[in-house]
Amino acid sequence: MKPSESLNEKSNEADQLPGRLDLPGPFAGPRDSSSPLESAAVGPGLGPADEVFGHHGEVERLPLIVPAINRPASEQIENLLHLRSQAEQGNLSSACLSPTALTGAESPPRISSEQVGDSELTSPILTQPGSELRPSQPISTTGEVWKSLGWLAVMILVFLSAITVGPRVVEQYQYSAARGKMRAQYEAATDMLSKVSMRESALASELVVHRIRPSVVSIQAGSKQRNRSRQPMMRGQGSGIVISDDGMVVTNNHVIEKAEEIIVTLADRREFRATVIGRDVETDLAVLKIEASDLIPAEWGDSDELELGAPVWAMGSPFGLDQTVTRGIVSGKHRRTADNSGDANPHQDLLQTDAAVNPGNSGGPLVNSLGQVIGINTSIYGEFFQGISFAVPSSLAKEIVGKLIKSGHVQRGFLGVSPRDVTHADAIRLKLPEISGARLETVEQDAPAYRAGLRPDDVVVKIGGKSIDNHIMLFRQIALTSPGDETTIDFYRDGELSSAPVQVGVRPLYR
């Protein structure tokens, strides 16, 4: 076969293939079928290969790569010129497609512009010499760019809002929280006040008065001598409290002291002459008896359970004003007052209150919130009430009253010691675990305490199992112990806790 015939046949075959490229100008001419490439190499998405002239008139078949997407003719010509240069240098492998292009794989389907829309568009391009053909990187479309810009704008707006509006939002939140709390407190207070609160408090105070009132009496003490109006000459006036339904009445000793006649006026205005059952100068208490029955006695409470600030009520006849009620709180415990000589009475152990007590209140009751007697009003600070008044605690008064009713007098126990309150320096020096107790300053020889083994600087913390917090409590506990009775004393010596039995003696008359 002649070369021209072979070339014509190949040309006719190529004309029937899609994507054929006819080269004008210098690329036209005879073609030789003896070219080393005897068939067209077709890659995915490419057109068929065409023949071009090689060196010395030889015709070589070179792979002509035609993209599936139409390209400008100038770009196609540049690609063909590059392939020819590679072929002339004998570098046919660089001018050919990759081996996978020769497998005869079908070209991918064409996608129209309507199908592509805003999606990513890729196209195969010619690789550099010595490299494989690979797809290019995705190209973002206009829609995605606007979407990214939108998100960026949102983030900027959020940031600007945080730095401008944020502080005001926080301030408003804090204000709202505070206002909400105040509103809740206001509503709760309104609800509680409408239900209980002051009305119940007032009612409780009224109930306390109603409970104690029938037991409170007015006392007038004087001589049997009559004045021009035929009334007895009165020397003293005070108050008292009924403690039994058969007519036992408790009052202060100084109210009825040296009285020749004592008149007791009950809450129902009945009057009775009273006789003295017993008196105790140390505690300023006295017990009277009236010939009456079916009375309403008061109930004793426990003064040791009182805490500072506990509400109390005082009732009596100040300045002759019967059934007067005042209110206050417990403002102190374990107090002492000076006697007629100006010395503190070691056997006093008083409650302090700010309930108003004036002349005429002496001997009247001090009651707790249950209407129980927790003290007997006995004195004030100064000539008139100045916000401080004193009462004998019920824990002491009840014991003294019991002894007065039984024997008419009080016989106190005796240890033969001079106690003092423990100070901070004492606690360090004597290695005490706490600042509490009664330190023995002196111990008389041959006295009950000395015989029991107690010595100076011993710190008593318990007597008969009852705690001793200060020297007043030591005096009171020993005084309430009957002479001849044996009790146990717990004490610290050089930081060691010890215990010793002691037989309580009888207090000498001069004590």
Q: How far, in Å, are 163, 173, 288, 351, 406 from residue 178 at the CA level?
A: 24, 9, 62, 44, 66
**Which is catalytic among the residues 254, 389, 458, 471?**
254
Q: What is the DSSP string of 200-252?
A: HHHHHHHHHHHHHGGGEEEEEEEEEEE-TTS-EEEEEEEEEEE-STT-EEEEE
Would you state the structure tokens that stand for residue 242, as one six-digit string? Answer: 């009924």
CB 432 within 8 A of CB 426: yes
Q: How far, in Å, are 63, 89, 97, 484 from residue 93 at the CA level?
A: 11, 11, 8, 134
**Which is catalytic among the residues 32, 280, 284, 458?**
284
Identify residue 75 by its one-letter amino acid code: E
The interaxial angle of helices 197-212 and 166-195, nearest 10 deg, is 30
Largest CA distance in the chain: 182
Helix (H) or strand (E) holding 256: helix 253-256
Active site residue 379: no
CB 224 within 8 A of CB 231: no
Length of the chain, in residues: 511
Active site residue 284: yes
| Residue tagged 């690979």 (tokens) | 134
How remote is the C-alpha of 318 from its chain's centroid?
47
Indicate the burial class of 457 (C-beta count within 10 angstroms; 0-12, 13-18, 19 or more). middle
**Which is catalytic among the residues 239, 303, 331, 362?**
362
SS (H, E, C) 166-183: HHHHHHHHHHHHHHHHHH
Mapping DSSP to helix (H, G, I), strand (E, B) and coil, where does residue 439 land?
A: strand
Would you state the structure tokens that stand for residue 165, as one six-digit string? Answer: 């509006």
Active site residue 362: yes
Provide the b/e sequence for 234-243 (b: ≥16 CB within 10 Å).
ebbbbbbbbb
| Residues that are catalytic | 254, 284, 362
